Structure 1
Amino acid sequence: MSTHIAAKAGEIAEAVLLPGDPMRAKWIAETFLEDTYCYNEVRGMLGFTGTYKGKRVSVQGTGMGIPSALIYCHELINDYGVKKLIRVGSAGSYQPDIKLYDIVIAMAASSTSGINNSRFINADYSPTADFELFYKAATYAKKANIPIKAGNVLSADEFYEDDPEAYKQWANFGVLCVEMEAAGLYTVAAKHQVQALAILTISDSLVTKAQTSAKQREQTFSTMIEIALNTL
């Protein structure tokens, strides 16, 4: 048992899906996994373990933002021996050709967070995906005829920015979309030498202003989950 996760030793699998929303964790467990049980309810951040095609998989909510996500990632890795972590989350499109429900796999994660400033003084650390997980995800998507986009994403500290046009600078440098956790996940995974990947579904567009509902974000992103589970 760790500070924020109440699981006993052996209750969490070595491979974990990480949705930000704990209710999405519940939906994933109930929809995709067999023989599931809930191992965590601390602070309402639900965690479940079950099996997918005979393989043990866990699903742990992380909350929103890098600080919250890092708490759970750190404890999963250091207290429970997790080796593979895949974030499955929503993102806002920065590009006109990336539409609602499109799948984006984060090869790298830029950030407005100061998470690495104290580690790398006067330098920029570039958190990247694990190549093996990235390759498996892209290969599965191709075989399953699932279109994906892959590239640099932005992990932002602020959901509501003062300047609604600020995204355009990132877009001009090829950043595909914005979310709030991938850079933290990739950094902590690199630090502890485990594997990490972020697979994202576009829930809204800063270009067209189109958006999905809260219920849709919770329960209709099944393609992303399919890719993630088959990657693991």
Structure 2
Amino acid sequence: MSIHIEAKKGDIAESVLLPGDPLRAKWIAETFLDDYFCYNDVRGMLGFTGYYHGKKVSVQGTGMGVPSALIYCHELINDYGVKNLIRVGSTGSYQKNINLRDIVIAMAASSTSGINNSRFINADYSPTADFELFMNAALYAKKNNIPIKAGNVLTADEFYEDDVNAYKKWAEFGVLSVEMETAGLYTIAAKFNVKALSILTVSDSLVTKKAISAEERESSFNNMIEIALNTF
């Protein structure tokens, strides 16, 4: 057991899906996995392991934001030997041509988080996706006629910003959308030489101000999960 995950040795697969919402983890296990079991409910952060087409897969909630996500990523990698981590979460669109329920795959992650400031003094570290996982995801989506957008996303520390127009500068430089964990995930994966990818579904748009409901965020997004499960 680790501090925040009560799984036993062998309970967690080498490939793990990482939704922020623990109830989305439960929905993924119930909807996509066979013979699944719950290995963690410490602090209500649910984790499950089961089989997808005979392949052992785990799903672990991470909570919101880089600090919370890094706790679970660190323990999954160092205490349970996880090799492939795929974030499956929601994102807010920064572009007019990226609409509700569109899928965004993060090739890289800009950030307003200070997570790397103490590591790279007077320098900017650019966390990126694992190329193999990225290509697998893109090729699966293409083969199965699932449209995707791919590019730079923003990992933000604040959900509610003081300046509601702050996103426009990022949008001007081609950032596709905003979320709260990817830069941390890509950084810790690079540090420990494991593979990581972030596959996101647009839940709201800062351009149009449209949004889908919290219930839909928790229990939909099928295409995103399908891509993720066929990426390992």
- TM interval, short-chain normalised: over 0.9
**Residue type of the alignment partner of 2:129:** A
Displaced runs of 4 or more, over 6 A: none
Number of aligned residue pairs: 232
Query: SS at the partner of 1:231?
Result: coil
Counterpart Cα distance in 2 of 1:46 and 1:222 = 19
**Residue type of the alignment partner of 2:167:** Y
**Which stretches in structure 2 are left out of the alignment for 5+ residues?**
none
> 1:188 maps to which residue?
188
Counterpart Cα distance in 1 of 2:111 and 2:124 = 10
Task: Note the alpha carbon deviations across 1:112-142, whole angstroms, 9 max, x for none.
Answer: 0000000000000000000000000000000
**Residue type of the alignment partner of 1:90:** S
Report whether the alignment pairs 1:84 with 2:84. yes
Counterpart Cα distance in 1 of 2:15 and 2:168 = 36
Q: CA deviation at 1:220?
A: 1.1
Counterpart Cα distance in 1 of 2:148 and 2:49 = 27
> 2:62 maps to which residue?
62
Counterpart Cα distance in 1 of 2:66 and 2:220 = 24
Overall identity of the aligned pairs, in %:
80
Question: 1:1-232 residue pairs with structure 2 within 5 A?
Answer: 1-232=1-232
Task: Note the alpha carbon deviations across 1:173-204, whole angstroms, 9 max, x for none.
Answer: 00000000000000000000000000000000
Task: Note the alpha carbon deviations across 1:21-70, whole angstroms, 9 max, x for none.
Answer: 00000000000000000000000000000000100000000000000000
Q: CA deviation at 1:104?
A: 0.2
Q: CA deviation at 1:71?
A: 0.1
Counterpart Cα distance in 2 of 1:212 and 1:106 = 21
Counterpart Cα distance in 2 of 1:176 and 1:188 = 22
Query: SS at the partner of 1:49?
Result: strand
Query: SS at the partner of 2:108?
Result: strand
**Which stretches in structure 1 are left out of the alignment for 5+ residues?**
none
Counterpart Cα distance in 2 of 1:143 and 1:31 = 22
Task: Note the alpha carbon deviations across 1:183-231, whole angstroms, 9 max, x for none.
Answer: 0000000000000000000000000000000000011111000000011
**Residue type of the alignment partner of 2:104:** V
**Residue type of the alignment partner of 1:196:** A
